[in-house]
């Protein structure tokens, strides 16, 4: 019984730490740059509340980059979609979260279409306007990814 209590307490504490981490890290406009590449994978990560964060594995000339995009609901409401093997251009900023450097998207250009994810100040355009634990707008568990810079 005591083990279950301790395990439950640790899970709650870890979840709270992740949520707190998400509120302290903000998009850094001063580091913005543009990257080009081919989407190799589109990944979704669900949070306990049912929200889903979208991420890309993007193959660039410099190597693979993990791109943190936005909540799936926001992308869908903008009538946008992305698939593997598509060529895209992303304006965003490299960010370090939990010791891993990733790329947080501000805008994505696919062909003649542009999906704007953040305003001029770098604040998310989705509601509620928060970055989540890692920039995708969703407080999901840590990513089991190998594409961080």
Domains along the chain? Answer: 2-116 (2.40.50.140)
User: What secondary structure letter does DSSP report for 93?
Assistant: E
Phi, psi of 24 (to 5 degrees): -100, -20
Q: What is the pLDDT of residue 8?
A: 39
Q: How confident is the model at residue 49 (pLDDT cuts 50, 70, 90)?
A: confident
**Cα–Cα distance, 115 to 19 (Å, whole number):** 26
| Mean pLDDT to the nearest integer, 72-100 | 93
The pLDDT of residue 19 is above 80: no
Q: What is the pTM of this model?
A: 0.78
Letter string b/e over residues 89-121, b meaning 16 or more CB atoms within 10 A of that residue's CB: ebbbbbbebeebebbbbbbbebeeeebebbeee
Mean pLDDT of all residues belonging to the chain: 83
pLDDT of residue 24: 58
47: confidence class by pLDDT, cuts 50, 70, 90: confident
pLDDT at 106 over 60: yes
Taking the C-alpha atoms of residue 140 and residue 126, their distance in angstroms, rounded to an integer, is 17
């Amino acid at each position: 019984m005591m083990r279950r209590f301790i395990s439950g307490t640790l899970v709650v504490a870890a979840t709270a730490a992740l949520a707190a981490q998400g509120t302290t890290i903000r998009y850094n406009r001063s580091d913005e740059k543009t990257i080009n590449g081919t989407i190799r994978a589109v990944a979704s990560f669900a949070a306990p509340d049912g929200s889903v964060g979208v991420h890309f594995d993007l193959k660039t000339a410099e190597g693979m980059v993990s791109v943190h995009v936005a909540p799936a609901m926001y992308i869908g409401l903008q009538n946008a979609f992305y698939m593997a093997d598509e060529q895209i251009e992303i304006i965003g900023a490299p960010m370090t979260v939990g010791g891993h450097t990733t790329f947080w998207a501000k805008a994505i250009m696919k062909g003649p279409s542009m999906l704007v994810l953040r305003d001029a100040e770098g604040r998310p355009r989705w509601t509620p306007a928060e970055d989540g634990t890692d920039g995708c707008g969703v407080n999901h568990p840590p990513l089991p990814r190998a594409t961080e810079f």
